[in-house]
Amino acid sequence: MIPSREVCLRAVASRDARFDGAFFTAVRTTRIYCRPSCPAITPRPENTTFYPTAAAAQDAGFRACRRCRPDTVPGSAEWDVRADTVARAMRLIGDGLVDREGVTGVADRLGYSVRQLQRTLTGELGASPLALARAQRAHAARVLLETTDMRLGEVAFAAGFGSVRSFNDAIRATYDLTPGELRTRLRRNPHTSQQLGAVELRLPFRQPFEPSNVFGHLIATAVPGVEEWRDGAYRRTLALPHGPGIVALAPRADHVAATIRLTDPRDLTPAIGRCRRLLDLDADPVAVMDVLGADPALAPLLARAPGRRVPRSTDGAELALRMVLGQQVSTAAARTQTGRLVERIGAPVTDPAGGLTHLFPTPDAVAALAPDQIPGPLSRAETLVRLARELAEGRLDLGSGADRADARRTLAALRGIGAWTVELIAMRALGDPDAFPAGDLGIVRAARHLGIGRPDVAAERWRPWRSYATQYLWAALDHPINRIPEES
């Protein structure tokens, strides 16, 4: 999981930020763990130990460095793109499933016993599912302490702790401070601000980050009532485990500014995770550019806009339903028809700022409709209902812990869903970094424009990052979907 000790030592000596999140450096003499790019004095090699996760370092008795704040670094990019059991488990834990259903819930989703899951995660990540969830809770608590005036007991339960005592113990073990002392220290940070009823925070990412195609795509395809672009921020409603939420996301030079308004503060962790997934913030742009930049046809595109991400989704089922609704129609027509469906069967929400009115309809709500009740051609409506039933009845899983191979097979077997739709769902809902809709008209035109020839043949040299190559190919031809509007 982590690089060799020699690579780790070189990364720490050079303070290489590309390795932040790939491993953590623990110093035995100070009992502190840091990110590789920490600006503090470089520790002696004989005093260092390397861990694959912050949770593993914490479990070994180390506390987070107050200077480089390793608990805030983006998670390992491998968890986001890998399709194995460990990566699927990490995505489920990141979505807060341990807090809602316990370790048993994660094991059940993966088809493992609790003992198997614990052995697998401890063997590769150096920490048990509970330790990983505990580290995540400590980070969520830190955000609440920093950005809200919630009482300490409320913070404890909102962050997912079962008791105030376990909250106090975890914060002291992680930060070597009591919750009250941590709040006092954090409030000295000039970057924090507060808004009644909302949590404002910064979502970090690995540099470089080119936001134009991600935000441009989300804005261009925004469904009325569910999404909008206002005052330099993409806003949307979220269906969260304990109630609806509303998030506003605005790109900045070194972070994405997020304002999250929740019905229940326990939903902070899944809300953050879904926002990060939507914007593909856990991607490793350096690894992507190393492969794609070696192709002379793509190299100029990467040099012009390094760090493009894949516009993904906050909910895989929603994305799949929207993909079917948008088949063989223009972007504007898809927005209109989807907006009508949202208004009819989407659950209403209250937006204090106005503009957002509904959650996107659940698969159950769509499956309950007759095809002739859905806007658009009857054949497409029948496909939509079939897809909704597969999702509603659990035969198709497009969630954060989904088995990508199983999901692909189930999608491909559904009448009315072709290879192009399967690849787009794999790319945007399942987070497959190597999905590639080779027959997409935009890709074919871009390949011809760049002199690449057949894109399906050329794409073999772009593995395992063909999803990212797709973003650069789409951006090769000028289109509003790749631009952020200058005015809200």
Residue type, 46: E
Measured over the CA atoms of residue 105, residue 109, residue 115 and residue 118, the dihedral's sign is negative
- Continuous segment of H or E residues that includes residue 366: helix 363-367
CB 272 within 8 A of CB 260: yes
Is 432 designated active site? no
Active site residue 284: no
Q: For residues 345 and 124, what is the distance between their CA atoms, to the nearest angstrom?
A: 44
Q: Which of 108, 176, 440, 456 is catalytic?
A: 440
List CB contacts of 398: < 8 A, sequence separation 6 or more.
316, 317, 319, 320, 391, 407, 425, 429, 430
Cα–Cα distance for residue pair 403/477, rounded to 1 Å: 34
C-alpha 87/C-alpha 260 separation (Å) is 26
Residues 6+ apart with CB under 8 A from 456: 436, 438
| Residues contacting 255, CB < 8 A, separation 6+ | 202, 203, 204, 205
Structure tokens at 400: 């954060």
**Closest C-alpha to 213, from 487, 486, 488, 481:** 481
Q: Which amino acid is at 161?
A: F
One-character DSSP codes across 140-200: HHHHHHHH----HHHHHHHTT-SSHHHHHHHHHHHHSS-HHHHHHHHTT-TT---BTTBEE
> What is the rounded (10 degree) CA torsion for 253, 267, 264, 228?
50
| Cis peptide upstream of residue 375 (ω within 30 degrees of 0) | no
Per DSSP, helices labelled H in 200-330 are: 212-220, 268-279, 285-292, 299-304, 316-325
Which entry of 8, 20, 34, 71 is annotated as an active-site residue? 34
Which residues carry out catalysis? 34, 440
